[in-house]
Structure 1
Amino acid sequence: MRRARRTLAATVTLAVACTTLTGCFEEPSPHDAVRDFLVGWQTEDYDLAAGRTDGDVATVRKALADAKLELDAASFRFKITSISMSGDESKADFHAEVDLGENNPLWQYESVLPLHLVDGSWKVRWSPSVLHPQLEEGQRFAVDTEPKPRQPVVDRDNDPLQSDTVLYVAGVYPNRLGDRAEEVVAQLSEVTGYAQDRLLSRVRSSPPDKFVQLVTFGRSRYQSMQAKLSAIDGIEVQPQKQPVDPDAPRQIVGSVSALTPETEQKLGGPQRAGDSVGRNGLQQAYQNYLTGSTATKVITLDLKTGRQVAELKAWPGRQNVSVKTTIDRAMQAAAEQAVADTETSALVAVQRDTGEILAVSTKNLHQERDALAGKFPAGTAFSIVAADALLKKGVSAKQKLACPQERTVGGARFVHAGQSTGVTTSATFQENFAKGCVTALASLARRVTADDLARSAKAFGVGLPWRLPLKSFSGALPELSSDADKARAIAGQNVEMSPLSMALVAAAVGSGTWRPPVLVTEPRSPDPSDEAKPIVQPAPVPMDPKVRTTLMAMMRSGAAGTPAQAGKGRVYGVRASAGNQQGWFVGWQGDVAIAVLTKNYDPAAVAGSFFAGLRTSP
């Protein structure tokens, strides 16, 4: 029977109808052969794939397995696009997708499977070009990469916030191994714990004359393993300097380690043995920017000479870039010195007019988890926010308020821990604010509504969503359903704040506008895929000018006579208690606003030391 040329979809069964009385039959279809070959190749069932070719099964099986090693491919995926027949010949067009890792796009190409009938069965006509149209006899695949050194995290003046550390990179030159690649890789796998097949894939996929980085060690680990590595004939170790040793603020900058077998398995993705990985802080948050993506080429090599024959595909990679922070080195140094003599403390300094974080320093607290994201009782430091609501409701800063040792408001009992002025001898609202008299402040609960306090809290950023690259806490004001709840809020007893959120409160009064915090100015987002998308931050909130003028005078009074005002320059702020021997100083001097949280130490003394350090710094 003469067969007409036709094109079939991948799922169509080829058949003809018999028009004679002698019966009918189904014509053989190449579809099953195409499907089995591609499914076997994709799933690494190389016997299934090889059995559908006219080639030697062992030869085909090895060629398919070698292709995966030579490309260091994570996976292959195929899609049949068309099948055509002409007599005893057939052709299947297919689309290939190869995952090469390295944070690059998939390698996609179009190819063709030639088929012919062999003893009544369709077989793929085997040749290396089945794997790729440009692959010929005597050639193999390879992947040529150009690793890039890690970029630094820098301060606001573009100076690195870490210093160089020597890392030790163990690797091989494939052409010097001869046929010992598997043996050498097996020994390296045994002493390091890295998966042997992954190391071997990296060796097999690389051009033979290039140094292949396999495992990176820090100094101490390298010293402990130096003898074992030296005993592996073919392994070479090259020292490399990388900017990975963090300077202050160390926990904000973050630490870097060489990729371990455990982290390689956990992270997946483009990281491979030999890479550096941010473990925490900005080094972790901006890992993909600091390392970029590797420039990669898929090439073919001549098996005899090892020279490149053709370039099949190239990706330039994404350029790695430094991460620019708002940290000011001089202010960071002053902050470090200010907390040095304390037992437990945190200090956050922000630029008054921008919300940019200038310094973060802690003693026995964590800079990210506690200084930026800690949830601490606000205590009477929250009276700054409460005063905004009270002043807007007409409470005068000159209003007389008794400051008894104890007071009950709405059933809630308040105790003033400081020296009382007595019940009859009353000080003003401003004076009670300045000395943090909790009983006097709580007595004003009935002068404001719950909504008044909630609006002022929101205007100072409390509870608003921030978009910092690290963890942060903007504060939390609970639902206020009674006078007792309002009194506790004015006294800060049911309010939680972080040192960062309190520093922003001080900055709002100092500048006249609350602004969200900023830690990194470049790149715009930790995720390269989000770089083109605008980052939505809470909008700045201006203060009522009259309220601000009064509140500034109250905070000037709050800083006067405290160690915060130890030197030159006018300091504004409030020294507050938060129970459990915790204390706050929240205020500003010049264009720098700060919040200091301490335990068993005067927070105003830390603030004074910090401001003095700024005056003596370069």
Structure 2
Amino acid sequence: MTRARRTLAATVTLAVASTMLTGCFEEPSPHDALRDFLVGWQSEDYELAAGRTDGDVATVRKALADAKLELDAASFRFKVTGVSTTGAESKATFHAEVDLGENNPLWEYDGMLPLHLVGGAWKVRWSPSVLHPQLKEGQRFAVDTEPNARQPVVDRARDALQSDRDLYVAGVYPAKLGDQAERVVAQLSEVTGYAQDRLLSRVRSSPPDKFVQLVTFGRSRYEAVKPKLDAIAGIEVDRQPQPVSPDPPRQIVGMVSALTPETEQKLGGPQRAGDSVGTSGLQQAYQDYLTGSTETKVVTLDLKTGEQVAELKRWAGRQNVPVETTIDRATQAAAEQAVAGTPSSALVAVQRDTGEILAVGTKNLHQERDALAGKFPAGTAFSIVAADALLKKGVSPKQRLACPQERTVGGAKFVQVGQAAGVTTSASFQENFAKGCVTALASLARRVTADDLIKSAQAFGVGQPWRLPLKSFSGSRLKLDSDADKAKAIAGQNVQVSPLGMALVAAAVASGTWRPPVLVTNPKAPDPAAEPTPAIQPAPVPVDPEVRATLQTMMRAGAASTPAQGGKGRVYGITATAADQQTWFVGWQGDVAIAVLAKNHDAGAVAGDFFAALGNSS
């Protein structure tokens, strides 16, 4: 909750508190003085509050105002818990709630107000202990903060997926400013755009001998404003290395920037000056975990020496932690190398037995928006899913199917690219599956029902509600109302999928079980409030063993006719065509399953380069 919202809440509460206090104190007694003092203090009517004490009005007024500044408090709220009177002496106890702002918890404490009769009128007996039982003469409040350094995003070996980059934190030592704090803060506000009152309150509420971090800059912004900062006497700059420069997969790891007035207001979280802010990828999704929250202490200080006298309250803050991913550096390097020479492509590699994402490589495509969440025509890559339904219906891999240049099914026209007009070839279902003959595959539409195809799609995760901390797309839900719709689905013409979704299809055939994807193993959910309950994921779905064995044979044949033969061990998969000059390779080698989407390039060749690079790295 932001400071502004919390202040509004406190104002609303004030009206309730005033009514409560007035209702409680109807009889002539010390109650009127008690009510006016607490309501005046709470509403910042310090003149009213000071007038109800036996102290010097100006001194009390300043003490109350200073307490708010020293605590950088958004609001005070009070509740009277007891009143006792003996003759000309009275004592009231109260419970205080102080909103320290900056999204810290409320500081709650119990206090005591002594009252006595002065010239026939009840007065609060003034001393600093009225503000807090442990505050003495010659002391002041202060708020001491310790921001935690940003934690890294790490790979499956717990090595950081980013390197350090310098951020520049401008701040002050309050003791060095003397009476120049307002001038210094005004100049800094003009340069940076941060609200002057917020900067000043941070300075005034901090221990005088401690460096107070006020504004954070990235290198380019710092270099732009450095001459202006250098011209502000009293401003010092601390260069702080933080893990913010992403390694591959860069768009999955995400970018980090310095905190700005705009991001501070937008986030409303535990961020303070000196923090860095994730602006994309996992850095943004897990911002609150990576930054944690600032350790905060309310203390009393000796006014002369500035030394701490007592600690009144401490909040450790939520511990910030690394974000542990499933990314494997060797696999990621192989993916980066494989896509480098293509005009436009995306490659997603997953662990076949777990669904863990090992690598996401792209060229001229976005790793999150396209590789994980892209919505692309499936083309004949979807024939893997369709084959599951067809095989269950008794279609034999050996069944002969004609592959003409054109065929019409239920009124829908299909064209086999590369097939000469008037030429019709005949091959087995397995052979047509391997070479992706659209017209042959579409001819099988009447061998299955719409429900058969939908069940197979669901079993392979297509259209299922899996969850990742980043945007992702599991595939479109099938709507099949006719033979034409079924034929288009078998040919992948009315189905959209993502490279991630198709990599999981390959993993299911390879391992015998479809599993939802996993990218982050810890924390269990991006929202700290949701932990430790993990996000609900679809249950794993086993592949029929007989169907799986046949599919593996068919995909082995498919890979044999493609360039995807690099690396060590057998490669299984098919190269498929889709719209807009896009090709797919969907398959696996060993325990790594992949999907490659390439435009104006052979996806099978990309897969071969990937497996070769991965084999060479092992």
Q: What TM-score do you get using the length of structure 1 for normalisation? A: 0.92
1:167-186 residue pairs with structure 2 within 5 A?
167-186=167-186
Give CA-to-partner distance per residue, 1:84-110, whole Å, 9 cap, x none: 444554444332222335654322112
- Give me the whole-angstrom Cα distance separating, in 1, the residues matched to 2:582 and 2:484: 23
Give CA-to-partner distance per residue, 1:484-520, whole Å, 9 cap, x none: 2222211111211111111101101011101111111
- Counterpart of 1:205, as a letter, is S
Are 1:279 and 2:285 counterparts?
no
- Give me the whole-angstrom Cα distance separating, in 2, the residues matched to 1:193 and 1:512: 58
Are 1:246 and 2:239 counterparts?
no
Equivalence for 1:132: 132
Equivalence for 1:581: 581
Q: Give 1:422 shift.
A: 6.7
How many residues in Structure 1 have an aligned counterpart in Structure 2? 600
Equivalence for 2:358: 358
Query: Does the 8 A contact of 1:167 with 1:239 survive in 2?
Result: yes
Equivalence for 2:525: 525
- Give me the whole-angstrom Cα distance separating, in 2, the residues matched to 1:36 and 1:281: 53
Query: Does the 8 A contact of 1:28 with 1:122 survive in 2?
Result: no
Give 3-state SS (helix, strand or coil) of 2:389's partner. helix
Equivalence for 2:332: 332
- Counterpart of 1:336, as a letter, is E
- Give me the whole-angstrom Cα distance separating, in 2, the residues matched to 1:65 and 1:420: 89
TM-align CA RMSD: 2.3
Equivalence for 1:344: 344
- Give me the whole-angstrom Cα distance separating, in 2, the residues matched to 1:607 and 1:545: 26
Give CA-to-partner distance per residue, 1:409-443, whole Å, 9 cap, x none: 22222222232697764211111111111122122
Name structure 2 gaps, 5 residues minimum: 1-18
Equivalence for 2:475: 475
- Give me the whole-angstrom Cα distance separating, in 2, the residues matched to 1:526 and 1:423: 56
1:75-86 residue pairs with structure 2 within 5 A?
75-86=75-86
Equivalence for 2:591: 591
Name structure 1 gaps, 5 residues minimum: 1-7, 16-26
Query: Does the 8 A contact of 2:141 with 2:205 survive in 1?
Result: yes
Give CA-to-partner distance per residue, 1:252-305, whole Å, 9 cap, x none: 111111101111121123212221111111111112222222222110001111
- Give me the whole-angstrom Cα distance separating, in 2, the residues matched to 1:239 and 1:398: 69
Query: Does the 8 A contact of 1:324 with 1:523 survive in 2?
Result: yes
- Bigger shift: 350-359 or 283-292? 283-292
Q: Give 1:50 shift.
A: 4.0
Query: Does the 8 A contact of 1:103 with 1:294 survive in 2?
Result: no
Give 3-state SS (helix, strand or coil) of 2:346's partner. strand
Flag the 1:569–1:124 CA change in 2: closer, same or farther, 3 A.
same
Equivalence for 2:461: 461
Give CA-to-partner distance per residue, 1:462-488, whole Å, 9 cap, x none: 222222111111111232222222222
1:173-572 residue pairs with structure 2 within 5 A?
173-419=173-419, 425-566=425-566, 568-572=568-572
Query: Does the 8 A contact of 2:566 with 2:610 survive in 1?
Result: no
Query: Does the 8 A contact of 1:13 with 1:29 survive in 2?
Result: no
- Counterpart of 1:603, as a letter, is A
Flag the 1:43–1:360 CA change in 2: closer, same or farther, 3 A.
farther
Flag the 1:302–1:407 CA change in 2: closer, same or farther, 3 A.
same
1:36-115 residue pairs with structure 2 within 5 A?
36-101=36-101, 104-115=104-115
- Give me the whole-angstrom Cα distance separating, in 1, the residues matched to 2:429 and 2:488: 17
Flag the 1:377–1:125 CA change in 2: closer, same or farther, 3 A.
farther
Equivalence for 2:6: none
- Counterpart of 2:256, as a letter, is V
- Give me the whole-angstrom Cα distance separating, in 2, the residues matched to 1:155 and 1:322: 10
- Counterpart of 2:442, as a letter, is A
Q: What TM-score do you get using the length of structure 2 for normalisation? A: 0.92
1:596-607 residue pairs with structure 2 within 5 A?
596-607=596-607
Query: Does the 8 A contact of 1:184 with 1:233 survive in 2?
Result: yes
Give CA-to-partner distance per residue, 1:526-583, whole Å, 9 cap, x none: 2233222244221111110000001111111111121112454211111111211122
- Give me the whole-angstrom Cα distance separating, in 1, the residues matched to 2:567 and 2:273: 54
Flag the 1:439–1:315 CA change in 2: closer, same or farther, 3 A.
same
Give CA-to-partner distance per residue, 1:296-341, whole Å, 9 cap, x none: 2110001111111111011233332211111111111111111111
Give 3-state SS (helix, strand or coil) of 1:585's partner. strand
Equivalence for 2:5: none
- Give me the whole-angstrom Cα distance separating, in 2, the residues matched to 1:287 and 1:45: 40
Flag the 1:237–1:611 CA change in 2: closer, same or farther, 3 A.
same
Q: Give 1:356 shift.
A: 0.7
- Counterpart of 1:539, as a letter, is A
Query: Does the 8 A contact of 1:524 with 1:535 survive in 2?
Result: yes
- Bigger shift: 297-306 or 179-188? 179-188
Give 3-state SS (helix, strand or coil) of 1:178's partner. helix
- Give me the whole-angstrom Cα distance separating, in 2, the residues matched to 1:549 and 1:36: 84
Query: Does the 8 A contact of 1:139 with 1:302 survive in 2?
Result: yes
- Bigger shift: 59-68 or 452-461? 59-68
- Counterpart of 2:161, as a letter, is L
Query: Does the 8 A contact of 1:477 with 1:494 survive in 2?
Result: no
Q: Give 1:46 shift.
A: 3.8
- Give me the whole-angstrom Cα distance separating, in 1, the residues matched to 2:422 and 2:402: 7
Give 3-state SS (helix, strand or coil) of 1:547's partner. helix
Query: Does the 8 A contact of 2:25 with 2:32 survive in 1?
Result: no
Are 1:143 and 2:143 counterparts?
yes
Flag the 1:393–1:198 CA change in 2: closer, same or farther, 3 A.
same
Flag the 1:532–1:35 CA change in 2: closer, same or farther, 3 A.
farther
Give 3-state SS (helix, strand or coil) of 2:183's partner. helix
- Give me the whole-angstrom Cα distance separating, in 2, the residues matched to 1:568 and 1:542: 27
1:116-127 residue pairs with structure 2 within 5 A?
116=116, 123-127=123-127
Give CA-to-partner distance per residue, 1:334-392, whole Å, 9 cap, x none: 11111111122111110111111111111121111111111111111111111111111
Flag the 1:515–1:138 CA change in 2: closer, same or farther, 3 A.
same
Give CA-to-partner distance per residue, 1:172-230, whole Å, 9 cap, x none: 11111112112111111111111111111211121111111111211111111111111
- Counterpart of 2:313, as a letter, is K
- Give me the whole-angstrom Cα distance separating, in 1, the residues matched to 2:79 and 2:463: 51
- Counterpart of 1:455, as a letter, is K
Equivalence for 1:3: none
- Give me the whole-angstrom Cα distance separating, in 2, the residues matched to 1:123 and 1:375: 74
Q: Give 1:521 shift.
A: 1.4
Query: Does the 8 A contact of 1:101 with 1:269 survive in 2?
Result: no
- Give me the whole-angstrom Cα distance separating, in 1, the residues matched to 2:579 and 2:20: 76
Q: Give 1:156 shift.
A: 0.9
Q: Give 1:133 shift.
A: 1.5
- Give me the whole-angstrom Cα distance separating, in 1, the residues matched to 2:509 and 2:60: 75
Flag the 1:73–1:270 CA change in 2: closer, same or farther, 3 A.
farther
Give 3-state SS (helix, strand or coil) of 1:264's partner. helix
Flag the 1:588–1:14 CA change in 2: closer, same or farther, 3 A.
same
- Counterpart of 1:445, as a letter, is A
Equivalence for 2:152: 152
Give 3-state SS (helix, strand or coil) of 2:439's partner. helix
- Give me the whole-angstrom Cα distance separating, in 2, the residues matched to 1:248 and 1:153: 11
- Give me the whole-angstrom Cα distance separating, in 1, the residues matched to 2:39 and 2:384: 69
Q: Give 1:79 shift.
A: 3.1
- Give me the whole-angstrom Cα distance separating, in 2, the residues matched to 1:165 and 1:355: 33
- Counterpart of 1:582, as a letter, is Q
- Give me the whole-angstrom Cα distance separating, in 2, the residues matched to 1:53 and 1:597: 78
